[in-house]
Structure 1
Amino acid sequence: MSTDALLTKLRADLGKDAVLTDADVTGSYSRDMMPLAPSGRPLAVVLPSDVEGVQAVVRACAEAGVPIVPRGAGSGLSGAANAIDGCVVLVMTKLNQIVEVDAGNRLAVVQPGVVNLEFRDAVEKHGLFYPPDPSSYDWCTIGGNLSTNAGGLCCVKYGVTTDSVLGLEVVLADGSILRTGRRTVKGVAGYDLARLFVGSEGTLGVITQATVALRPLPQAPGTLVAGFDTTEAAGTAVARTVREGLVPSLMEIMDASSIKAAETYLNTDLGAGSDCQALLLCQSDSGGEAARRELAALEQICQDSGATMTYATDDLAEGRMLMQARRVVLTALEQYGVWLTDDVSVPRTRIAELIAGCQRISDDVGLRIAVVGHAGDGNMHPTIVYQPDNEDEFTRARKAFDAILDVGLSLGGTVTGEHGVGKIKKEWLEREIGPVGLRVHRQIKQALDPGNLFNPGSMFSMT
């Protein structure tokens, strides 16, 4: 089938308004938020509104031998949704229905185009809670979260996206529909195929529906902030928290550069003092006296570890104000230039070493690097700031990006905790998992996508 014939068929199957070919329009769908990742010119952007439309696109592209790149809202930070030349970008945002909320069984069935925050708000009306909360939760979609196995600030207690997935509906390479998982709490019949597709970045199939587990709505959280004059002291507090078995609902860390950026942006003083090198922000959603006991225990750990300032509050508005400082860091860094955020996870006992390594890299490349992250699970986001119109600074930013990944691996970590591999970390995936791991990845890909049409070139190459 020629490309003209493919476009004619797609318009016949989906309607002409669902098939976009204008270069200015398709260009806006060609990449995500990662400036380093390569992108190409798509043949077309298609926006099906139902599962049958997705199947039609997959079958038509298979017949024509044209690659498909699935895409959600484009909030990703790895280039996983970036177009390649001549592909069809399959945009899933019109499949945006919350099919079911089953409060009795604490689960929901949701389509991939639903925005994360809208889903969380919807289930909250039933007294329920969907934990995954990426920083872009007000515009990222459930499908994108599933494809990258997204995390967020609450991972320390509630886990990442896959920990909430019970089952999936997936369109396979031949257009057939695979249904994985179940609606029961327990079940071990067959391979856990749902977990195979979660985090696969659209390379194995197109997720069209998910059944997810929900939790009872937590109590309003209490909040603790603690300032340290060394990152080592903050790292000690994190390690002791883990060792003593405390599981706060949130435990975030900010380095000195992040603190200063947030304070300037918000025109506020977090009370940590001018010599503060690291700030821990913790929350407990256990409720009432249990939350107060947990925060008191966390505060004592921080003080014993050398905190120069601690402050705890159960006032919800005050807690939100403190957490705002963490959530605005990326926006705050735009005061100094554009940012390039990395995503590495290290053992929680080695967070301070990673932050120190980032400072050495910052000194080496001559660029600001601010580190924030999910201290409770060791997932750090070093963020490099550079001037967009300065080619030399961009080159140095890329050097810093790779150097941070190298440090993360040297500390026993992983090159991505929640953003995914995409098109920017392929060589790093190979380095991390080794030749046998890469061979198994390719074998799985070959079994499910023999034509290599689903997001080719993302995560790893087939040769």
Structure 2
Amino acid sequence: MTISISALDSLVDTLVSSDVVTDPDIMAGYRQDWARDPDAGTPLAVVRARSTEDIQAVMRWATEHSVPVVPRGAGSGLSGGATAVDGGLVLSTELMREITVDPVTRTAVVQPGLLNVEVKAAAAEHGLWYPPDPSSFEMCSIGGNAATNAGGLCCVKYGVTTDYILGLQVVLADGTAMHLGGARLKDSAGLSLTKLFVGSEGVLGIITEITLRLIPAQPPASTVVASFASLRGATDAILAITRTMRPAMLEFMDKASIHAVEDAMKMGLDRNAEAMLIARSDSPGAHRTEEIEIIAAACRDSGADDVFVTDDPDEGEAFAAARRFAIPAVERTGSLLLEDVGVPLPTLADLVEGIAEISKAQDVVVAVIAHAGDGNTHPLIVFDPEDPDMERRAHQAFGDIMTLAISLGGTITGEHGVGRLKKAWLPDQVGPDVMDLTRRIKHALDPAGILNPGAVL
């Protein structure tokens, strides 16, 4: 269906304060998220919404004219979930940036355009903390976090985004706005519809407001950094640690990611190591000392070549920053295909070693970083886009890694979402009955199929 200029003008006339952008040069920046999907389309327009009411107007117009709508947050997604489609609208929530913090109920009501780091800062003003912390927390939006159920470095102990969402306001495909949940710590009335929309990647509705649970500020932390001569030694240490406790952080870096980060940051990381673990404890007083001793002993007993312990928060944060910088550092070495496959912890070693075998078989570099305490790995497949055969082998490795994760009882995505880049493997993980139920739910809420078409399903 071709949309006339007058029809698009009618959309502009219905909006109170939102921007409608049709300049091709500006729209070009909204065609892809950080996954850089090569099949991204050219949108009819980009709408930069400022209110729930305007999003309702957009969806009513889109339903009337059968125009697809792709919701977009900060564009930091890694699975192509915000890839534009030809002739559709990109509906950006980047300008929706209001927040209200209630220190009495320890909640915050947040619009989706705020960055994760801004939510943390607003909570900190009241001595509170919003824990989920993706590596991209300084650039990813809270709305995008909710849409993908994002995780992060501290989630091994504190949980992921869904654990902190008490309520949502959601606009459906027909423009209906619904309030789900609210600032109640306990609420079992009706079906758990709030949870249905968390992680739904914009295929069921558009999140326009989020009620978040906050907790007291994180205590001071101590950090352990351990280097290993083998991948198996590092994964043995991970299992030994998690068998005994839940650290506040337990991160993994392999040799390729260590080298990339050291090349960029020059902070003295051990280039001879096959793997490195960064672990933290933030338990109070003597418990923190006890947990740090447990972590350090587990690393030594698993063959660590070097174990470094620090109580200095700045020193510890420097190592966490190194881990957070791993993806940009590896990206400096070539184009990337990014994954976030996860497995049950007992099979983590099989996954990491299997990825190394796939890397060798396909003759491409696959740097691996991981939220190790969750069993959630991020294989980063490096290739030269000017080399067609290498690009083909990289894509083969991409699929082989997801197939491996599924075979180990794992998942094709722990926190980035299925998007468009991983949807071909979703049926292999969840099976035909779950896929059928997912389609039925999608059809019930979006019968015309205009919300983020091509994502997930």
Residue number in structure 2 paired with 1:258: 257
Please give the per-residue CA displacement for 1:89-139, whole angstroms capped at 9, x wherever unaligned: 1011111111x2111111110000011101111111111110111111111
Contact 2:149 2:415 in 1 (8 A): yes
In 1, the alpha carbon distance for the partners of 2:326 and 2:316 equals 17
Residues 9-408 of structure 1 correspond to what in structure 2 (within 5 A)? 9-14=10-15, 18-36=19-37, 38-98=39-99, 100-244=100-244, 246-270=245-269, 272=270, 274=272, 276-408=273-405
Residue number in structure 2 paired with 1:417: 414
Structure 2 counterpart SS, 1:138: coil
Give aligned-pair identity as a percent. 46
Structure 1 counterpart SS, 2:304: coil
Structure 2 counterpart SS, 1:345: coil
Unpaired segments of 5 or more residues in structure 1? none
Counterpart of 1:75, as a letter, is S
From 420, 426, 431, the equivalent of 1:429 is: 426
In 2, the alpha carbon distance for the partners of 1:265 and 1:18 equals 39
Contact 1:70 1:202 in 2 (8 A): yes
Structure 2 counterpart SS, 1:301: helix
Contact 1:6 1:61 in 2 (8 A): no
Query: What's the C-alpha RMSD, in Å, of the aligned pairs?
Result: 1.5
Contact 2:74 2:139 in 1 (8 A): yes
Structure 2 counterpart SS, 1:397: helix
Counterpart of 2:111, as a letter, is Q
TM-score (norm 2): 0.97
Counterpart of 1:197, as a letter, is F
In 2, the alpha carbon distance for the partners of 1:176 and 1:38 equals 31
Contact 1:339 1:385 in 2 (8 A): yes
Unpaired segments of 5 or more residues in structure 2? none
1:150–1:17: structure 2 CA closer, same or farther, 3 Å change rule? closer
Please give the per-residue CA displacement for 1:30-87, whole angstroms capped at 9, x wherever unaligned: 1111134621111111112111111110111111111111101100011111111111
Are 2:455 and 1:458 aligned?
Answer: yes
In 2, the alpha carbon distance for the partners of 1:37 and 1:445 equals 26
Counterpart of 2:314, as a letter, is A
Contact 2:44 2:87 in 1 (8 A): yes
In 2, the alpha carbon distance for the partners of 1:234 and 1:333 equals 21
Counterpart of 1:28, as a letter, is G
1:160–1:344: structure 2 CA closer, same or farther, 3 Å change rule? same
Contact 2:16 2:54 in 1 (8 A): no
In 2, the alpha carbon distance for the partners of 1:180 and 1:16 equals 25
In 2, the alpha carbon distance for the partners of 1:2 and 1:86 equals 8
Between 192-201 and 382-391, the greater mean CA deviation after superposition: 382-391
Structure 1 counterpart SS, 2:120: helix
Structure 2 counterpart SS, 1:308: strand
In 2, the alpha carbon distance for the partners of 1:117 and 1:138 equals 5
Contact 1:346 1:378 in 2 (8 A): yes
TM-score (norm 1): 0.95
Deviation (angstroms), 1:186: 1.1
**Aligned pairs, how many?**
456
